[in-house]
Amino acid sequence: MNRRDIVRDGYDDIAATYAAERDGEGRERGLVAGLADRLPAESRVLDAGCGAGTPAMDVLATDHTVTGLDISREQLQMAGERLPGSRLCQGDLAALPFPADTFDAVVSLHAVIHVPRAEHAAVFAEFERVLEPGGRLLAALGNEQWEGNNEDWLETGTEMAWSFHGRERNRELLTEAGFSITDVETVDDELGGVFAFFRARA
């Protein structure tokens, strides 16, 4: 099974457990709230790798029009139950199913880290493509380079796969994709590890 299949099937299998473990009440919620406050009312936002809709969709949906995209159907179903009437679609971060200049902001938390590193440049190019000029990006990316699998993630018996660059390579790739980086903050993750949260403008 390839890495994409492992991630999709894994999140389908453990959607409820993952949603319970990642409640989104930590610093990342504050970062999403900060983005929401910077956007004009009714801005169009893509949550790329939305999971069950927390924390990004449930924070942003109060004042903005949010579309959630995820590779996992089960995660999307949970997001729909959490936020009835939400705009949701299944898709791939490296080939977003939206026209250019569709969104005013893109949020992607703990999602790019599951895409094979060789495709991260394509993912960032897709984020830039679907953003309006000057649009905002908030993305949780690797702080240190790592790639590997866990065959019993969250003690569920389900395999999960990760693949990510470190902070400096992420900075380079985002810049090459056309982003101007405004800030990088290191955040301890509630499920373990440390991630670099990049704020940038298209």
Instruction: Give 131-173 pLDDT, tens digit per residue.
Output: 999 999 999 999 999 999 999 999 999 999 999 999 999 999 9
pTM exceeds 0.85 for this model: yes
**What is the average pLDDT score of the chain?**
95
Condensed to tens digits (0 to 9), the pLDDT of residues 68-123 reads: 999 999 999 999 999 998 999 999 999 999 999 999 999 999 999 999 999 999 99
pLDDT exceeds cutoff 80 at 1: no
8 Å CB contact between 108 and 49: yes
Q: Are 79 and 57 in contact (CB under 8 A)?
A: yes
Residue 192 has pLDDT above 90, yes or no: no
Cβ neighbours of 1 (radius 10 Å): 10
Q: How far apart are CA 198 and CA 200, in angstroms?
A: 6
User: What CATH code is assigned to 3-201?
Assistant: 3.40.50.150
Mean pLDDT of 51-76: 95
